[in-house]
Amino acid sequence: MDIQVIVQDIVAAFEDLSDPRRVEKSKTYFPTSMKVMGVTNPNLKVVIKELKSSYPDWHPREWIDLCKRLVAVDIFECQVLAFEMIGRDKSLLNALQYEDLTDLGKNLDNWASVDHYTVGIYGVLWGKGVVQDRDIDRLLESDNHWERRRAVVSTVALNLKSRGGTGDTPRTIRVCERVVDERQDMIQKALSWALRELSKRDRDAVVDFMELHEPRLARRVVKEVTHKLDFGTKN
């Protein structure tokens, strides 16, 4: 079947599942240039299940092609659907090539898209060696704060067991040290998240990091990471 027809059918399904209240909430929760249709996560999962059952013989590259087409329509839920299908399927992750990331990584203009893409795909591919340290360095040097956030959040995937992370203290600390002086809100939040996730793997490394850099860190980072170290929770 023509992949573009499948994409159109998915969009039509999302229109039937649209919730205007969720659309309105998105305007302040994760502002984006993409169209938001207001589809719930449970309904997204239903669509994925139906797709998988409809095309059981598809090869990974066919699914990846569909995901690229979904991202290209500039609809938030289509993007999330693509990221979720790839990020939860080891065969698709293993079939991804670095060149695929250009098409998949479009429209990353809000924290929800950045984090879903990075924790599920980009950061995982860093752990696999498809994304290189030099690619992370380029993101850290970007004037675009969403790209810098992607670099920091990529460390979460290295340490997150549910995403196949086995722990990587050296690379996590190296990235965190690059953004110690950041005052952009989205980067501060990402730094806090990165350190809190690493603390589950290597608490001593995070304690040492905080002792060394606390005078330079944003108050939010100090508060959240310290609370995590002391009580096991963010707040």
The DSSP string of 172-220 is HHHHHHHTTT---HHHHHHHHHHHHHHHTT-HHHHHHHHHHHGGGS-HH
CA 155 – CA 171 distance, rounded (Å) = 7
Confidence of residue 51 (pLDDT cuts 50, 70, 90): very high
pLDDT digits (tens, 9 = 90+) for 153-191: 999 999 999 999 999 999 999 999 999 999 999 999 999
From 72, 107, 142, the end of a domain falls on: 107
Note the pTM of the prediction, 2 decimals: 0.96
- Percent of the chain at pLDDT > 90 equals 98
**Percent of residues, the chain, with pLDDT higher than 70:** 100
- Give yes or no: residues 10 and 61 share one domain: yes
Residue 12 counted as domain residue: yes
- Indicate whether 37 belongs to any domain: yes
Range of the structural domain that residue 177 is part of: 133-235
Q: Decide if 52 contacts 86 (C-beta within 8 A).
A: no
Query: Above 80 in pLDDT, residue 1?
Result: no
- What secondary structure letter does DSSP report for 73? T
28, part of any domain: yes
Please give the Cα distance from 124 to 73 (Å, whole number): 25
Mean pLDDT of 35-62: 96
Q: What is the CATH classification number for the domain harbouring 211?
A: 1.25.10.90
The strand pairing partners of 75, in sequence order, are 35
Residue 126 covered by a domain: no
Residue located via tokens 């380029």: 138
Count of the separate structural domains present in the chain = 2
Across the chain, where does the E strand assignment appear? none
Q: Which residues, in sequence order, are CB contacts of 106 under 8 Å at separation 6+? A: 71, 72
